[in-house]
Chain A
Amino acid sequence: MAEVASGRLGTRLGRILLLLPYAIKHPGVSIGELSERFGVTTRDLLEDFRLVYLCGLPGYGPGDLIDVTLEEDAVYVSMADYFGSPLRLTAAEALALYSGGAAVAALPGMEEADALRRALAKLGGALGASGTDGDDSGIEVKLAHGPAEHMEILQRALGEGKRVSLEYFSASRGALTSRVADPWGLVATLGRWYLIAFDHLSEDERMFRIDRIKSAALLDERANVPDDFDPERYKAAFVEREKQARLILEISPEASGWFRESYPALGARGLADGWTRVEMASGGEAWAATLVLRLGKDVRSVRPETVMTAARTLGAAMVSAHTS
Chain B
Amino acid sequence: MPMGTRHGYSRDMRRIERLINLIAALLDTTRALTAEQIRSRIAGYDQESFEAFRRAFERDKEALRAMGIPLELSKSDPFVDQEDAYSIPKARYYLPQLDFDPDEVAALKIAAEILLGAGEHASAALLKLSIDSPSAPTPAPRIVWGANLAAEQPLLGRMYAALIERHPVTFRYHTAAGESSLRTVRPYRLLHRNGHWYVVGFDPDRSAIRAFRVSRIDAVIDVGTDDYEIPEDFDAGAHLGEAWAIGDEPHTATVRFDQTMRWWAEQNMPDCVVREAPDGALELELPVGNEDALISWAIGFGSAVEIIKPETARARLVEHIRPLLEAAP
Chain A residues close to B by CB (< 8 Å): 1-6, 8-10, 12-14, 16-18, 21-22, 25-26, 33, 36-38, 46, 49-58, 60, 66, 68-70, 80, 82-83, 85-97, 99-101, 103-105, 112, 115-116, 118-119, 122-123, 126-133, 136, 138-144, 146-147, 155, 158-159, 169, 171, 174, 176, 184-192, 211-212, 214, 229, 231-232, 234-236, 254, 257-258, 261, 286, 289-290, 292-294, 296-297, 299-300, 305, 308, 311-312, 314-319, 321-323
Contact = CB atoms under 8 A, between A and B. Distances in A.
B108 A257 contact: no
Name which of B100, B106, B176 has the most chain A CB atoms within 10 A of its CB.
B176
B262 to A, nearest CB: 10
A118 B105 CA distance: 10
A76 to B, nearest CB: 10
Contacts of B122: 93, 96-97, 100
Contacts of A318: 299, 302-303, 317, 321
B176 A261 contact: yes
Given A91-B68, A308-B329, A51 B16 contact: yes
B299 A290 contact: yes
A321 B107 contact: no
A10 B67 contact: yes
Contacts of A211: 264, 267-268
B31 to A, nearest CB: 12
Contacts of A97: 108, 111-112, 121-122, 125-126, 129
Contacts of B23: 17
12 contacts: A9-B15, A25-B131, A26-B134, A55-B17, A56-B21, A92-B121, A95-B190, A96-B125, A97-B108, A116-B110, A131-B166, A191-B192
Contacts of B176: 257-258, 261
B29 to A, nearest CB: 9
A140 B189 contact: yes
A296 B134 CA distance: 60
A119 B105 contact: yes
A318 B216 CA distance: 33
B302 A323 contact: no
Interface string B193-209: 11110000000000000
B151 A99 contact: yes
B131 A104 contact: no
Interface stretch (B78-86, B141-149, B244-252, B282-290): B141-149
Contacts of A91: 68, 157-158, 160-161, 164
B2 to A, nearest CB: 8
B125 A9 contact: no
Given A143-B147, A254-B177, A122 B165 contact: no
Contacts of A171: 300
A322 B237 contact: no
Contacts of B105: 119
Contacts of A123: 98, 108, 129
B131 A86 contact: yes
Interface string B269-288: 00000000000000000000
Nearest to A36: B135
A112 B106 contact: yes
B1 A319 contact: no
Contacts of A127: 164
A22 to B, nearest CB: 6
A-B pairs, top 5 by smallest CB distance, nearest first, are: A231-B146, A5-B66, A92-B157, A4-B63, A191-B195
A139 B160 CA distance: 9
B24 A83 contact: yes
B114 A319 contact: no
Name which of A33, A51, A52, A229 has the most chain B CB atoms within 10 A of its CB.
A51
Contacts of A5: 63, 66-67
Given A25-B131, A139-B189, A159-B142, A146 B98 contact: no
Contacts of B145: 185-188, 231
Given A99-B149, A297-B323, A318-B317, A229 B144 contact: yes
A190 B16 contact: no
A142 B190 CA distance: 11
Contact of A87 (B67, B126, B194, B296): B67
B98 A235 contact: no
Contacts of B327: 300
Contacts of B196: 191
B96 to A, nearest CB: 5
Interface string B26-47: 0110000000000001110000
A296 B307 CA distance: 17
B163 interface: yes
B177 A18 contact: no
A53 B320 contact: no
B127 A37 contact: yes
A30 B227 CA distance: 46
B75 interface: no
A82 B26 CA distance: 10
A93 B104 contact: no
B125 A188 contact: no
